[in-house]
Amino acid sequence: LLPFIYIVTLGGQQPRKHYGITSSISLAFPREIDHIYTQKLTEAMKPFGVFEGEDELNHRLAVLGKLNSFVKEWIAEISESKNLPLSAVANVGGKIFTFGSYRLGVHTKGADIDALCVAPRHIERTDFFSSFFEKLKQHDEIKDLRAVEDAFVPVIKFKFDGIEIDLLFARLALQSIPDNLDLRGDSLLRNLDIRCIRSLNGCRVTDEILYLVPNKENFRLTLRAIKLWAKRRGIYSNMLGFLGGVSWAMLVARTCQLYPNAVAATLVHKFFLVFSKWEWPNPVLLKQPEDSNLNLPVWDPRVNPSDRYHLMPIITPAYPQQNSTYNVSTSTRTIMSEEFKNGLTVTDEILQGKADWSKLFEPPNFFQKYKHYIVLTASASTEENHLEWIGLVESKIRVLVGNLERNEYITLAHVNPQSFPGSKENHNENEFVSMWFIGISFKKLDNSDCVNIDLTYDIQSFTDTVYRQASNINMLKDGMTIEATHVKKKQLHHYLPPELVQRKKKVKKKVCVYSVSKKAKLYPISLLGRFFLFIYFFFFSVPIATPVAKPPAPPAGNTIPTVVGRSVIPRITSSSPSPTELPSSVNGAPKRPHSPSQEDPPKRHKDTEVLSSL
């Protein structure tokens, strides 16, 4: 199948091709100034470590070459142990495929490599997690080896000569695996189990994206810029309801299809132009979905009612097509839409010569943006337990965001993807602590009455969900706790270093008040004169407001109310319950179909697993 469509023209002209599901917006070729802006964009990204040097690239290639040989050697050994003929053993093959940011060519310094081990039909998954795992363990250059066999997409993680690698496994219904195997063919999915299909999906999507863009180099440089921008602006996290790497790649690929001849500087600007005006939830598609008659579930709102509630669908181009952004919520979509508009404003200024590219990568001051925050704290008694615990807690934060969004008085719940270490002042020195911050915007009320907003249930149902999930997978251990606390902006300095919460100083212009005489000459008024003017206007021109009685204090209990304008929200502290104390059920508020289920297993951090979900 070709990635483009031919448009037939009249008058004997050559047919013109275009990429994607629609014709291009512009076929204009770059001007000299566009190349200059692209060079400046490249220079602006270098300080952030987005480009890897030649030595590091060669080191990665060497490591992958060793791993590929290692896999072929292991497959041959297993084939021989299963009494295959020697002639078959010699040609059985096996291969390592890469996907994700490394395969797209946009990985950064020190980034890990997502890889897939493809084996023939007589190699079982149990062989991969037993004999191959043991073979890796004996290798001197392999460190930090661990297997996650019960994950949604099973994986072996390790460091090979300093390079972090996440290795998936898939066996195909083939007698041997040739070196020139192309995974893009849908027929390879026949008779495969669901875990193999999920594992293959990452490679198939990555390869399809590269196949569907008109110019790979322009695509890669643009994607590097957009990924850096998204990370700097705090909207790069699939797990927390923003977009992950593959979703950003598909948005950039669609922009490249619409402007096939443009260079990176133009494409970055057009990216913000297109998606600041995109009418969500219209889906982003790189090609028309195809049905391969393999009866696998695909994203189709005409057939699946739940798909109709996805807020920001970006559809993977490889069969079975899936929405890579099903975690997006009302709040995260609102935040990303604002960032698209802000990016358009900044790139307009850059291309007009009014600003530099560095302005695009300036981080927002999250801790000055909101008046109210919820501080979510996860603690554990050991470092090992802490790493395990924060992984589960972070995977469930979007459930808390969903609970807050359903509160009628909250208009926005903005989670900062970055976690922060807990201060020793507020916690035991022997504890390992991580904190997340959620900015809260309350609805503006027309009346002047005080409204009590109780978030106890919203937060308690979230903590119960985390504890129950931890108990179900036998993770819950002594010392594992969650604490959710409401704080005002002025209280953030108790939790964060001063440089994060201090407002950037602005140069104040000297203001001078003048009076106008009959001769139209301006005379500055003295400080004493200003004082008397203030007294006059305050007492004689403005009605004096009647004081409003304070609302009665709520009853004492485990909820400590804090007055928030017209609102009252609580401070919740949840200690780790024993498994027998866990609530049997959490009867939550009516759940939106697109909201994540509180019982869903924790999602892996990798975007590839989101793609692999069926």
Give me the pLDDT at residue 498, please. 86
Kindly report the backbone phi and psi dihedral angles of residue 13, in degrees, each rounded to the nearest multiple of 5, phi listed first.
Answer: -75, 160
Which amino acids are annotated as binding site for Mg(2+), given as ranges?
112, 114, 166
Listed as own residue / partner, the contacts of 276-280 with beta carbons closer than 8 Å and 24 or more positions apart are: 276/337, 276/340, 276/341, 276/343, 276/344, 278/340, 280/311, 280/312, 280/333, 280/337
HSE-up (13 A, CA, CB side) for residue 555? 1
How far is the CA of 606 from the CAs of 149, 231, 379, 473, 603, in angstroms?
Answer: 15, 15, 24, 20, 8
Q: Quick one: which of 269, 258, 248 has its CA closest to 344?
A: 269
In angstroms, rounded to a whole number, what is the distance separating the alpha carbons of residues 232 and 361? Answer: 6
Residue 572 pLDDT: 44
Block residue for tokens 């503006």? 444
Report, as ranges of residue numbers, the positions in the chain whose pLDDT lies below 50: 1-16, 507-525, 537, 541-576, 578-614
- Contact at 8 Å (CB) between 173 and 579? no
The pTM of the whole model exceeds 0.85:
no
Res 473: pLDDT: 86
**pLDDT value of residue 502:** 76
- What pLDDT sits at residue 453? 82
Q: What is the pLDDT of residue 594?
A: 39
Query: Known binding site: residues?
Result: 99-101, 108, 112-114, 166, 227, 236, 245-246
- Domains, the chain, in order of start with CATH, read 54-208 (3.30.460.10), 215-361 (1.10.1410.10), 366-501 (3.30.70.590)
DSSP string, 277-315: S--TTSPB-SS-----SS------TTT-GGGGG-SS-BB
Predicted confidence at residue 560, as pLDDT, reads 31
CA gap 111, 161 in Å, rounded: 14
Paired residues of 158 in beta bridges: 165
The residues annotated with a catalytic role in the active site are: 101, 112, 114, 166, 227, 236
Q: Which segments are annotated as binding site for ATP?
A: 99-101, 108, 112-114, 166, 227, 236, 245-246
User: 165, exposed or middle or buried, with CB in 10 Å at 0-12, 13-18, 19+?
Assistant: buried
pLDDT confidence of residue 579:
43
3-state helix, strand, coil in the chain (%, to 5): 40, 15, 45
15 to each of 1, 18, 24, 26, 256, how far by Cα in Å?
18, 10, 14, 17, 20
Placement of tokens 């929405």 in the chain? 323
Q: Are 235 and 227 in contact (CB under 8 A)?
A: no
